[in-house]
């Protein structure tokens, strides 16, 4: 097995854009998943660049080891990439959390760094200040609260300078935390308890976020990422980034997007919750493919796909057209206020065939409130209909997990055996004509318990992780935690027809 030194040196040698800086305030910026995942995170790369741009600050990256269990067994310390300095030696350690299951990686990273995991067990004289931020803070960061001295809520562009100024200005940690607790966007769990302040919003002039480092050693392989828009103007009831979050959808002018793309970037990914809703998307895509770039888009909406956009995607290297239906049936899509109709998905299948793409892939959820076997019978019927149009069809299926700050907050998690049974019947019904790629209902249940939990759920994450991190370990850990509150979501208001 390669040592960390060998892995680090090989990865650094392949990077373009690595920042190396000395500062009075060195910060270890840790991603609690492996390097290939962390370096695919636009938010993580943006924070890395922003911190290094601040006077007197230097930020170095660290990641969860590829084999965290082996690292625990060998007691290999977690070190940064830029200098190989142990993370535990930094005065400030900042984590970026994208989703609930990364709490396990957070615990692993703290343990491997020799930092007491719980904030209450740390001392200012001996231990770093531990900060948490990232996409998870838009939903429910409370389970991570006991591990953090302070959590940055929402968009961090304007919070980071305030944080650094406060750290440099306060010699006493208690005074620092008391001051931050009074400022918008800062959650100090020891003082706020489980009550969250409002999340922060970056001014439009701070947009867009974009990559700092290009590397082949990521899930996206040398792809330069940039966001032509942030947020979403739609109202899907399950989504954290719906129109009510931080002002909805905010657009970046195509000229601004194009100006920030490096001339030597051969692969460009457009990232955002609703990229295909950007009215300037065709202009951006034309610029990219006309200059010989490959392109990728994080969110294709079926009702926005047309001949021009799919043609540009094909020229930009697309072989699979990936979009989402989310609900198993038209009825369920109406319930969750997802505007995608069967005609939009059939049109996507036809565009896939017309432009010589090899596959249509649809993402969807199983276990939504009110779902029945009849909805999955409709899905099987429609899947076979799509398979008669597109060259190949694949369904990426994930169990529904209710998230905080959405209308479906506190919705129940469907029984694992019910989910598995519906998937088995769907597989039999499509008879191999549609490829099914389901994610685990068991791990979705773990995600649900964390998404709906508080401090007690966060403590369960530490018990499960240290016990080995198997599903049985999580199940045993959650047996000591009260089940989340459950309510039956109200149906959306019916629109009445008005005679004209």
Domain boundaries, the chain: 4-192, 316-490
Residues 262-286: tens digit of each pLDDT: 999 999 999 999 999 999 999 999 9
Q: What is the pLDDT of residue 299?
A: 83
CATH architecture of 316-490: 2-Layer Sandwich (3.30)
Inter-residue contact 347 to 385 (CB < 8 Å): no
Predicted local distance difference test score (pLDDT) of residue 2: 82
The C-alpha torsion from 246 through 247 and 253 to 258, rounded to 10°, is 20
Q: At what angle do helices 416-430 and 373-387 cross, to 10 degrees?
A: 30
Give the CA distances from residue 150 to residues 122, 130, 154, 316, in Å, rounded to whole numbers and listed in that order: 13, 7, 13, 42
pLDDT recorded at residue 489:
62
Cβ contacts of 79 within 8 Å, gap of 6 or more: 4, 8, 62, 85, 86, 87
Residue ranges of the chain whose pLDDT lies below 70: 1, 489-500
- Inter-residue contact 311 to 270 (CB < 8 Å): no
Rg (CA), the chain: 23
What pLDDT is attached to residue 491?
57
Which secondary-structure segment (H or E) carries 359?
strand 359-366
Long-range contacts of 259-266 (CB under 8 A, 24+ apart): 260/208, 260/210, 260/226, 261/224, 261/226, 261/288, 262/224, 264/16, 265/214, 265/224, 265/293, 266/222, 266/292, 266/293, 266/294
Q: How far apart are CA 403 and CA 216, in angstroms?
A: 33
Pairing of strands 150-152, 359-366: unpaired
3-class DSSP assignment, residue 399: strand
- Residue pair 69/469 in contact (Cβ under 8 Å)? The answer is yes
Q: What pLDDT digit, counting tens, does each position of 204-236 carry?
A: 999 999 999 999 999 888 999 999 999 999 999
Give the tens place of pLDDT for each residue, 392-415.
999 999 999 999 999 999 999 999
Residue 214: its pLDDT value, please?
96
Cα separation, 365 vs 346, whole angstroms: 19
Partner residues linked to 130 by β-bridges: 93
**Cα–Cα distance measured from residue 100 to residue 84, given in angstroms and rounded to the nearest whole number:** 28
Tokens at residue 190, please?
Answer: 């020891």
* CATH architecture, domain 4-192: 3-Layer(aba) Sandwich (3.40)
How confident is the model at residue 455, as a pLDDT?
98
In whole numbers, what is the pLDDT of the chain averaged over residues? 95
């Amino acid at each position: 097995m390669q040592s960390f030194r060998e892995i680090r040196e090989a990865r650094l040698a392949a990077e373009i854009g690595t920042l190396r800086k000395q500062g009075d305030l060195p910060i270890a910026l840790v991603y609690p998943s492996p390097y290939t995942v962390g370096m695919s995170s636009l938010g993580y790369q943006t924070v890395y660049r922003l911190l290094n741009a601040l006077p007197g600050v230097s930020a170095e990256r660290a990641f969860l080891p590829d084999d965290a269990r082996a690292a625990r067994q060998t007691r290999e310390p977690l070190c940064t990439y830029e200098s190989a300095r142990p993370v535990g030696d930094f005065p400030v350690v900042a984590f970026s959390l994208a989703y609930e299951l990364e709490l396990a990686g957070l615990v692993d990273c703290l343990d491997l760094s020799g930092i007491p995991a719980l904030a209450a067990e740390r001392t200012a004289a001996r231990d770093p200040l531990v900060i948490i931020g990232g996409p998870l803070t838009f939903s429910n960061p409370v389970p991570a609260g006991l591990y953090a001295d302070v959590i940055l809520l929402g968009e961090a562009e304007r919070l980071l300078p305030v944080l650094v100024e406060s750290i440099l200005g306060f010699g006493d940690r208690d005074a620092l935390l008391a001051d931050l607790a009074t400022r918008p966007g800062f959650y100090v769990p020891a003082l706020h308890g489980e009550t969250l302040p409002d999340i922060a919003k970056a001014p439009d002039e701070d947009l867009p976020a974009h990559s700092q480092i290009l590397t082949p050693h990521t899930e996206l392989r040398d792809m330069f990422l940039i966001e032509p828009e942030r947020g979403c103007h739609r109202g899907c009831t399950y989504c954290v980034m719906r129109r009510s979050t931080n002002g909805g959808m905010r657009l970046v002018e195509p000229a601004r997007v194009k100006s920030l793309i490096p001339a030597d970037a051969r692969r460009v990914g457009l990232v955002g919750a609703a990229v295909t809703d950007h009215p300037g998307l065709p202009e951006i895509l034309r610029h990219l493919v006309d200059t010989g770039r490959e392109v990728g888009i994080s969110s294709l909406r079926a009702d926005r796909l047309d001949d021009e956009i799919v043609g540009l995607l094909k020229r930009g290297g697309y072989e699979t057209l990936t979009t989402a239906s989310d609900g198993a049936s038209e009825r369920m899509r109406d319930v969750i206020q997802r505007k995608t109709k069967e005609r939009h998905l059939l049109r996507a299948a036809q565009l896939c065939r017309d432009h010589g793409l090899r596959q249509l892939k649809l993402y969807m959820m199983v276990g939504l409130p009110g779902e029945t076997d009849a909805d999955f019978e409709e899905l099987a019927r429609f899947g076979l209909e799509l398979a008669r149009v597109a060259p190949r069809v694949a369904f990426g299926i994930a169990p529904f997990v209710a998230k905080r700050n959405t209308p479906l907050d506190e919705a129940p998690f469907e029984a694992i055996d019910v989910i598995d049974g519906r998937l088995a019947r769907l597989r039999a019904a499509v008879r191999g004509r549609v490829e099914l790629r389901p994610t685990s209902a068991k791990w979705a249940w773990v995600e649900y318990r964390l998404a709906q939990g508080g401090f007690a759920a966060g403590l369960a994450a530490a018990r499960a992780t240290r016990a080995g991190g198997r599903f049985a370990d999580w199940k045993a850990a959650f047996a000591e935690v009260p089940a989340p509150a459950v309510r039956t979501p109200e149906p959306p208001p019916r629109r009445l027809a008005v005679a004209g």
